[in-house]
């Protein structure tokens, strides 16, 4: 897909989820490079930078998108010709997407070892990484059941329940406010990640922190499934994670609301590391306290380019 189509699809949430938007951003830059017909480097770089900014602006607070785009553009400024730059962008994007999908698979394999017969799992929103764990365990023949939250206002939970039902998994949809009530039946929580900070906090779909608190209260294990490119290099330098706020219409959905009512629609919330039993990544199960070391060793180059 070209840059403009990708940007509109991300803005309209047709493409959503941290991993999917990161791969879409990388693919859009690859498409741009593949279809660029000029031969002068200066205008190429200018158009490339415009494309980068448009893509980053489509979901400006998403670190996955930032990392996907910057991995794709890695070393492009050292290229001596348009041809060389195009080749590099295409191969960088291909590598990022391949590694990203590979990470989801590895997370599924490692996370599935934490699921046993008889488990009752709770998940939130629609996370490819968390669902990879659940689907892998099911494919291994394990017998368990799953609760999924509706995840208002976008109701990504509907995607989750349909996806799991199609696999033949025993799945029950609940409304978001039923989380604490069903927690007494739950044995493990698996959620995805939009961003992980350098000190091991999780930023994920609004309501995730409620799952974590309820799990903590009920002594239920709370697992986060996250590719390492969701680790935020900016937080290493003390930057706070900006929580995306979306349109108020998403909340009221055509309801007759008095014009004096204010509406607040934050998309993500923050769960401190102390509520997380483990972060399941493609480099293994880690504690929130070890995010810093992995961030520095894996993203060192990207951090230095920032
Ligand atoms: C989606 C969401 C998901 C993470 C991880 O929010 O919070 O849990 O993005 O998803 P939105 P994945 O629908 O607002 O994008 O594991 O697929 O990367």
DSSP per-residue letters across the chain? --HHHHHHHHHTTSS-SHHHHHHHHHHHHHHHHHH-----HHHHHHHHHHHHHHHHHHSTT-HHHHHHHHHHTTTGGG-SSHHHHHHHHHHHHHHHHHHHHHHHHHHHHHHHTT--TT-EEEE-S--HHHHHHHHHHHHTT---EEEEE--TTTTHHHHHHHHHHHTT-EEEEE-GGGHHHHGGG-SEEEE--SEE-TTS-EEEETTHHHHHHHHHHTT-EEEEE--GGGB-HHHHTTPPPPPPB--THHHHTT----TT-----B-EEEE-GGG-SEEEETTEEE-GGGHHHHHHHHHHHHHHH-
Among 67-76, 157-166, 239-248, name the one with the lowest average pLDDT: 239-248
CA dihedral for 63, 226, 11, 240, sign (positive or negative): negative
In short, whether 201's Cβ falls inside 6 Å of ligand 1 is no
pLDDT at 304 over 90: no
Which pLDDT score is estimated for 229? 93
* Residue nearest (by alpha carbon) to ligand 1 atom 11: 17
Q: In DSSP terms, which residues pair with 271 in a beta bridge?
A: 202
pLDDT at 300 over 70: no
**Which residues are catalytically annotated?**
125, 194
The mean per-residue pLDDT over the stretch 50-71 comes to 94
pLDDT at 303 over 70: no
In short, whether 127's Cβ falls inside 6 Å of ligand 1 is yes
The mean per-residue pLDDT over the stretch 89-107 comes to 97
pLDDT at 301 over 70: no
pLDDT at 299 over 90: no
Among 4-8, 126-130, 192-196, 247-251, name the one with the lowest average pLDDT: 247-251
What pLDDT band is residue 222 in, cutting at 50, 70 and 90? Answer: very high
Q: In DSSP terms, which residues pair with 148 in a beta bridge?
A: 123, 173
Give the mean pLDDT of the chain.
95
Among 19-28, 171-180, 241-250, 283-292, name the one with the lowest average pLDDT: 241-250
Which pLDDT score is estimated for 238? 87
Which pLDDT score is estimated for 264? 95
Residue 139 CA, ligand 1 centroid: distance in Å: 23
| Site to substitute for ligand 1 among 67, 123, 127, 212, most atoms within 8 A of C-beta | 127
In short, whether 205's Cβ falls inside 6 Å of ligand 1 is yes
Q: Give the tens place of pLDDT for each residue, 267-282.
A: 999 999 999 999 999 9
The mean per-residue pLDDT over the stretch 281-292 comes to 96
pLDDT at 2 over 60: yes
| Total-model pTM | 0.94
Which pLDDT score is estimated for 296? 87
pLDDT at 302 over 80: no
Q: Which atom of ligand 1 lies closest to the CA of 104?
A: 16
Residue 20: name the closest of 84, 64, 57, 58 by CA.
64
The mean per-residue pLDDT over the stretch 39-54 comes to 96
Residue 192 CA, ligand 1 centroid: distance in Å: 6
């Amino acid at each position: 897909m070209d840059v403009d189509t990708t940007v509109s699809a991300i803005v309209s949430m047709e493409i959503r989820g941290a991993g999917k938007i990161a791969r879409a951003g990388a693919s859009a830059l690859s498409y741009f490079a593949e279809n660029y017909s000029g031969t002068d480097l200066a205008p190429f770089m200018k158009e490339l930078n415009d494309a980068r900014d448009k893509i980053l602006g489509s979901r400006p607070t998403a670190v996955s998108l930032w990392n996907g785009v910057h991995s794709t553009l890695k070393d492009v400024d050292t290229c001596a010709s348009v041809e060389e730059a195009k080749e590099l962008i295409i191969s960088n994007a291909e590598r990022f997407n391949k590694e990203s999908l590979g990470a989801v698979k590895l997370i599924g394999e490692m996370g599935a070892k934490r699921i046993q017969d008889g488990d009752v799992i709770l998940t939130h929103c629609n996370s490819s990484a968390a669902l990879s764990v659940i689907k892998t365990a099911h494919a291994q023949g394990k017998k368990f059941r799953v609760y999924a939250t509706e995840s208002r206002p976008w109701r990504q939970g509907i995607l989750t329940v349909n996806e799991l039902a199609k696999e033949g998994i025993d799945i029950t949809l609940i409304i978001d406010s039923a989380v604490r009530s069903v927690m007494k039946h739950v044995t493990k929580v698996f959620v995805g990640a939009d961003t992980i900070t350098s000190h091991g906090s999780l930023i994920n779909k609004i309501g995730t922190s409620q799952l974590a608190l309820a799990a903590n209260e009920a002594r239920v294990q709370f697992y986060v499934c996250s590719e390492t490119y969701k680790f935020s290099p900016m937080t290493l330098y003390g930057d706070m994670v900006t929580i995306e706020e979306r349109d108020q219409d998403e909340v009221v959905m055509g309801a007759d609301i008095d014009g004096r009512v204010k509406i607040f629609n934050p998309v993500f919330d923050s769960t401190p590391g102390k509520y997380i039993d483990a972060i399941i990544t493609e480099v293994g199960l880690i504690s929130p306290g070890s995010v810093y070391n992995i961030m520095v060793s894996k993203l060192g180059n990207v951090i230095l380019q920032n």
